[in-house]
Structure 1
Amino acid sequence: MHHAEHVMGTVVSIDLADDLPAPVLRAMIGDVCSWLHEVDRRFSTYRDDSEVSRLRRREIDVSDCSADLRHVLEACADLWRETDGYFDAYAAGPLDPSGYVKGWSVEVASARLAEAGSVNHCLNAGGDIRARGLSAKGEPWRVGIRHPWEPDKLSWVLAVTDRAVATSGIYERGDHVFNPRTREPAHGLRSVTVVGPDLALTDAYATAALAMGEAGLAWLAKLTPEGYESAAVTDDGRAFTSSGLPTAA
């Protein structure tokens, strides 16, 4: 069963490949959509009444925030330390945890599906992907990574199961990732893709590496022993991949 939901400023595609009754699958999709809209209401920086916006205006204190928002703030602080400051929820000025929230919310959505009995599904939130089990064809889920200059072409096609895939690049939204050291738009890398077991971290790592520029290539290599593979394209068109990147045959 397939469903597309407009939420969090993007389209989230939900594909369930489980052999379950249609009403059960529809209920699962409804739960996922409800969760994602809840996240949007709570974390959107574009909604004046969201928790994040109220916290930014200092109308509420951290101690007044929901458990989910406190978790996100703690996770962003941990990532700031882990990435030597390159993942920074304050990189552009005011608090903006969006670089963590989207991947985290989809990871939670996938966990909710698994808990409800869906062992074969794929969620795609604007390129942030969480796949479990196998597709309806009984094969690993295939994920195309867009060419950073030619939108009708792919740089890589990945075959994944029980993995998350996140890509951060400057080819669609322009200069939206900043180097927190210089406060200038990141440069050096055109596109970074990370594959790993957790989408919240996978997404954050891709963003941090892009912010680092070419130094991010060596930093990504250090993540391989932790189960995170990567691919990147530099501003001048060179392509790099880790040895274990799950490319499709």
Structure 2
Amino acid sequence: MSGGARGDRDDVAAWRFEAIGTQWTVDTVDALTDSDRAAVSALIDAFDREWSRFREDSTVTALSALGGSRPLPVDAEAMFAVYADLDDATSGAVSPLVGASLEALGYDRSYSLRSRGVVSAPRDWRRTVSIRDGLLQLAEPALIDIGAVGKGRLLDRVYEELASRKPGRLTVDAGGDIRASAAPERVGLEHPYDPRRIVGVVELADAALCASATNRRAWGEGLHHVLDARTGTPVRTIAATWAIAASAMVADAVATALFFEGGAELAHRWGVEWVRMTTAGRVEWSAGFGTQRCKAELFT
């Protein structure tokens, strides 16, 4: 995912590891203990075991085969509440049931990267997915994919776990999606067509920055991971988005919504600042970006 670019620092202790298919870096003033690292690893594994459509033993894989119900994952209510707002704002373009559409285009469990055609998501995912009596229920088999909010939600969980253990300066970077404590962190916005360049710089303090871009997780002729759930086809007009919010889950959600009509309006309602680049190379940004509210600079 094209997101934030950060330099190494000499005044922090860095822990680097790989999880959920991306590189993580945790910066703290004091080095993390074995107990701190074990807690983070257990949290990530539990989340992945619930939500990864790439695992045969996950909750979403079981539901995709049989439907029915499973014990409610701890993050389900928060994430599906955000998906309901995304659905309403984008007129159904963003859906948690886009998993079958991604698999049909080749972004499947085996990473075949061979398209088998186009499959749209169910028209109203809320008729299929429900939460009641402590259960996550699917009225019929369907493949949940939480790509619009899941990485941000997990980033928040990891950040909050470490913040409770290591008060003070803390930055958690999950493949360019970043949440930072009150100490300002300068983050470059990676150019979607040239990773050696940045399109701007954000001063991130007590906030999160998440991004999405069509040049990452791309394969075949014009195929990538940002799909319009209504059609099952990749978006064509927006190349990259960046969103800055109080939480990574909200920033992640807005970064996805900005690929569609209604995304900018949702960001405004939520008080999220943003930047996006069209496939024609035009850069657009929110009214508060680059102001005292969101200290930043764009190189346009």
TM tier, shorter chain? 0.7 to 0.9
Q: How large is the Cα RMSD of the aligned pairs?
A: 2.3
Is structure 2 residue 244 aligned with structure 1 residue 203? no
State the 1:177 CA deviation: 0.8
The answer to whether the aligner puts 1:58 opposite 2:66 as a matched pair is yes
Q: Which has the higher strand share?
A: 2
Gaps of 5+ in 2: 1-12, 102-120, 122-142, 219-223, 290-294
Instruction: Output aligned runs, 1:181-196, within 5 Å.
Output: 181-196=230-245
What residue in structure 1 maps to residue 227 of structure 2? 178
Matched residue, 2:6: none
The answer to whether residue 159 in structure 2 is matched with residue 110 in structure 1 is yes
Q: Identify, as 1 or 2, the structure richer in helix.
A: 1
Task: Confirm whether residue 14 of structure 1 aligns to residue 26 of structure 2.
Answer: yes
1:83–1:111 CA distance, 2 compared to 1 (3 A): farther
- Residue type matched to 2:212 in 1? S
Normalising by structure 1, what TM-score? Answer: 0.84
- Counterpart AA for 2:43: W
1:87 aligns with 2:94: yes
Q: What displacement does 1:120 show?
A: 1.5
Task: Tell me if structure 1 keeps the 8 A contact 2:51–2:58.
Answer: yes
Distance (whole Å) between structure 2 residues aligned to residue 225 and residue 73 of structure 1: 18
2:36 is equivalent to residue 28 of structure 1:
yes
- Hey, what does 1:39 align to over in structure 2? 47
CA deviation profile, 1:175-216 (whole Å, cap 9, x unmatched): 211112332111111111001111111101111212x1xx35
CA distance in 2, matches of 1:158, 1:74: 28
How many angstroms does 1:159 deviate by?
1.0
Which of the numbers 72, 76, 82 marks the counterpart of 2:79? Answer: 72
Give the Cα separation in 1 of the matches to 2:26 and 2:179.
10
Q: 1:112 to 1:82 in 2, by over 3 A?
A: farther
Aligned residue type for 1:89: P
CA deviation after TM superposition for structure 1 residue 157, in Å: 1.5
After TM superposition, the structure 1 stretch with the greater mean CA deviation from structure 2, 66-75 or 234-243, is 66-75
Report the CA distance between 1:151 and its aligned residue.
1.5
Q: Is the CA contact 1:197–1:227 (under 8 Å) kept in the aligned structure 2?
A: no
* Distance (Å, rounded) in 2 between the aligned partners of 1:71 and 1:162: 21
Q: Is the 8 A contact 1:142 1:248 kept in 2?
A: no
Is 1:3 the counterpart of 2:47? The answer is no
1:163 aligns with 2:183: no
Say if 1:14 and 1:29, in contact at 8 Å, map to a contact too.
no
For 1:42, the aligned partner's letter is: E
- Structure 1 residues not aligned, in runs of 5+: 135-139
Contact 2:28 2:166 (8 Å CA) reproduced = no
